[in-house]
Structures are given as structure tokens and as C-alpha cells.
């Protein structure tokens, strides 16, 4: 069964079909055959709209093992690399797994490495929630899952680098990214892309130097996004929150 979102006003709840929702707004027994777009009503008369899970919902409802990559950063990765259905993606530093899930839901075949085995277990559960769990076949290092699915491997990608096949895209969100980037020419197909997220500019510089040494063409961006406020007095950027998230280094083989 695929989990759905139950939404009313400023609240939303993630539940499986057949579950019961109990809140101060009333009790709601969710039908087993529930479909997105339906409206369900609690015993107190509160209406909930049923929605299917999409990418931003995964960001909000995945079990977290750390700070996940923001949708704005994922959007830049998709836009700058052109990753598409059928592409093979190597990801390292799985964490919560938001990036891997986004790319798999876009139709890519994703192999993602997480060094912490407990984090890897959580990421596998998140992949199941996203509906992108895929079986691998053959030798694990050389195999990739079916398009539209993601395989989470517990371990260091550097230990497997020499046995891995070529990929269309390599994405990294890990402290040892500069060392992984050294292998980029062998991990990427001709014309393939590298995308590295770093929270600190010093880390980005190390990645850039490593990518240049590996012969990749490189460009780097800081991600800044401002929300706009509209009220009766006028319009201006919001003063709440932090617009900066991190730095993205892109390279091409």
C-alpha cells in the first residue's frame, strides 16, 4: 500500500490506507481503496483532502538522520546536469536520502552509498516510502537497480570505486568528496556530470581543486533563495529565515 497525505487547512498527516487518524479534529478511518483527490470526513465533520506523495512531501515526511539537501539545491542539480529517465546515478553521502529519492522518482537508476549502517537502514525505509526501492542483480559493485529505483548500500564509496561501472551523473554530499572526485574520470561516461554539495566554502575549494586536477571543467554556485512577503503595506523579501543553504560544484567529464 502507498502512503497518502491527509490535508486540512495548515495541517497534514501521512498515513497508510486502512489506518485510523485520531486528532482533536476527530477520528477518521481511512479506506483501503482510498484515492488521491478524494475528500474524507472525520466523525466531527472535519474534511481532509487526500493527496499523493510528491518530492517536497518526501522532504517534509522522511525520517531524518541529519539535515537533508534542500529542494532548491536538488533543483539546481537537476537543471545543471539534465539528469533524466534512464540515466545511471552514483550518489554518496545518502543521509536521509532525499536527493536519491528525487532522482529515482525522476526515472534515474540510483546507487547511493552511506557510511553509517544505521543511517543506511533509515534511508532504505525512506526509499520504500517514496516508492523507489529496486532490486539489484549480479555482482553488487557492478550492478545498478532498475530505472526509477534506488539501491542504498552501507559502506564507503571509495572502497568500491575501482569496481563500479560508469555513470551519467555522480552526486556527492560527503566530507571525503575531494578524494572521490579524483576517481570522477573513471566513474563518469564521456560528457557525464559531477555535482558536489558542500556546506562550507573551504570544502568547495578543495573539491574544485580536485576536479581541476582530474581534468574536469568546473563551475561553482552559492545557493541563495529569498521568500517574498506581500501585505497591505507593500512587497519585499522576507526578513525571516536564512536564504543561504550551501555551495554546489559542478564538473563535466
Which helix (H) or strand (E) is 195 found in, with range? strand 188-198
Task: Kindly state the cell numbers that stand for 35.
Answer: 484515492
CA dist 168 and 24 (Å) reads 49
Grid cell 476527530 in the structure block, residue: 26
Task: Confirm whether pTM is higher than 0.85.
Answer: yes
The answer to whether residues 145 and 151 touch, using CB atoms and an 8 Å cutoff, is yes
* Dihedral pair phi/psi, residue 143, rounded to 5°: -95, 160
DSSP secondary structure letters along 126-173: HHHHHT-B----SSTTT----TTEEEEEES-HHHHGGG---EEEEEE-
- How do the domains of the chain map onto residue ranges? 4-52, 57-252
Question: Fold identical between 4-52 and 57-252?
Answer: no
Structure confidence at residue 91 (pLDDT): 98
CA dist 67 and 214 (Å) reads 29
CA dist 94 and 142 (Å) reads 19
Which helix (H) or strand (E) is 185 found in, with range? helix 184-187
pLDDT tens track of the chain, all 253 residues? Answer: 589 999 999 899 999 999 999 999 999 999 999 999 999 999 999 999 999 999 889 899 999 998 889 999 999 999 999 999 999 999 999 999 999 999 999 999 999 999 999 999 999 999 999 999 866 545 566 688 999 999 999 999 999 999 999 999 999 999 999 999 999 999 999 999 999 999 999 999 999 999 999 999 999 999 998 889 999 999 998 887 778 889 999 999 9
Q: Kindly tell me the number of DSSP H helices and DSSP E strands found in the chain.
A: 8, 15
The answer to whether residues 145 and 169 touch, using CB atoms and an 8 Å cutoff, is no
Q: Which fold has domain 57-252?
A: Rossmann fold (3.40.50)
Per CATH, the architecture of 4-52 is what?
Answer: Roll (3.10)
Amino acid at each position: 500500500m502507498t502512503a497518502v497525505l491527509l490535508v486540512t487547512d495548515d495541517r497534514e498527516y501521512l498515513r497508510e490506507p486502512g489506518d485510523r487518524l485520531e486528532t482533536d479534529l476527530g477520528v477518521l478511518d481511512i479506506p483501503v481503496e482510498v484515492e488521491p483527490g478524494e475528500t474524507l470526513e472525520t466523525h466531527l465533520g472535519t474534511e481532509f483532502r487526500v493527496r499523493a506523495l510528491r518530492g517536497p512531501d518526501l522532504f517534509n515526511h522522511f525520517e531524518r538522520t541529519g539535515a537533508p539537501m534542500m529542494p532548491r539545491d536538488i533543483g539546481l542539480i537537476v537543471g545543471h546536469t539534465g539528469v533524466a529517465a534512464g540515466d545511471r546515478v552514483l550518489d554518496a553521502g545518502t543521509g536521509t536520502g532525499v536527493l536519491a529519492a528525487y532522482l529515482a522518482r525522476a526515472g534515474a537508476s540510483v546507487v547511493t552509498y552511506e557510511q553509517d549502517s544505521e543511517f543506511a537502514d533509515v534511508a532504505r525505509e525512506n526509499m520504500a516510502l517514496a516508492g523507489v526501492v529496486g532490486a539489484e542483480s549480479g555482482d553488487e559493485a557492478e550492478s545498478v537497480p532498475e530505472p526509477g529505483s534506488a539501491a542504498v548500500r552501507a559502506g564507503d564509496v571509495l572502497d568500491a570505486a575501482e569496481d563500479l561501472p560508469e555513470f551519467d551523473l555522480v552526486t556527492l554530499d560527503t566530507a571525503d568528496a575531494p578524494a572521490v572526485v579524483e576517481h570522477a574520470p573513471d566513474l563518469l561516461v564521456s560528457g557525464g556530470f559531477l555535482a558536489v554539495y558542500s556546506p562550507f566554502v573551504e570544502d568547495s575549494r578543495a573539491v574544485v581543486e580536485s576536479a581541476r586536477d582530474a581534468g574536469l571543467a568546473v563551475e561553482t554556485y552559492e545557493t541563495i533563495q529569498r521568500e517574498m512577503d506581500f501585505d497591505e503595506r507593500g512587497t519585499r523579501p522576507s526578513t525571516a529565515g536564512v536564504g543561504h543553504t550551501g555551495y554546489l560544484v559542478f564538473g563535466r567529464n
